[in-house]
Structure 1
Amino acid sequence: MEGVPEPHAGWTFLTNHARVLAAIADDRNARIRDIAVRCRLTERAVQKIIADLEQAGYLSHTREGRSNTYRIDPGKVLRHPAEAGVTVASLLSLLAQDEADRTGMPQSASTSRGSE
């Protein structure tokens, strides 16, 4: 069925919330459809995750015409007690390094992720 992501069996290192946040960090103007494809989620799941992130203060958006521009709060601390003191910026920096390793891009080019 078109538009439905492939199912994934087993565990993963990142939550869907982290994946969506990283996708938005890469493109602050990303459409829900594009985030869903990148994260291999349904659009409905992405909408719910964005709502969760906004309600918790990690993310906000501004409507510009027919599209949204997202803003990430880089200083917001992660929720789990095991990550006490770890900020969103630190998480995104770690994910950016991983992306740089995969793509061969220098770290400095991959760390400007639109989180102003």
Structure 2
Amino acid sequence: MHALREGALNCGVTERTVQAIVADLEAAGYITRTRADDGRRKRYALVPGAAFRHPAEAGHEIVGLLKLLAEPSASPSAATP
């Protein structure tokens, strides 16, 4: 499946919305886009060392947040009081 389409389905937004978000991230220097070997598809990669722009988060790399978000979360029923 097309990566942007899959992202849109997972997030509950339109593919066009995901395209706009990806374009914004690329323009801001957070990701890069290259053509895949077949010349048709695109590959996206995080820019190593990219940091947040807001002064409150200045100096913190976005990769830390992404790692946190990618970790499997404990289910509410498995949580202990």
Shorter-chain TM-score tier: 0.7 to 0.9
Any stretches of 5+ residues in structure 1 without a counterpart? 1-29, 104-116
Give the structure 2 partner of residue 94 of structure 1.
68
Q: How high is the TM-score relative to the length of structure 1?
A: 0.56
Higher share in helix: 1
Q: Does 1:84 align with 2:40?
A: no
Q: Does 1:46 align with 2:22?
A: no
Deviations along 1:43-75, whole A, 9 cap, x unmatched?
Answer: 111111111000011011111232111110131
Give 1:26-37 correspondences, 5 Å limit.
31-37=3-9
Shift of 1:39: 1.4
- Provide the aligned C-alpha RMSD in A: 1.7
Give the structure 2 partner of residue 111 of structure 1.
none
Shift of 1:102: 4.0
**Compared with structure 1, are the counterparts of its residues 80 and 101 closer, same or farther at alpha carbon in structure 2 (3 Å cutoff)?**
same
Higher relative contact order (CA 8 A, sep 6+): 1
Give the whole-Å Cα distance in 1 for the aligned partners of 2:52 and 2:42: 24
Q: Does 1:62 align with 2:34?
A: yes
Instruction: Could you list the structure 1 runs, at least 4 aligned residues long, displaced by more than 6 angstroms after superposition.
Output: none
Q: Give identity over the alignment, percent.
A: 49
Name the larger-Rg structure: 2
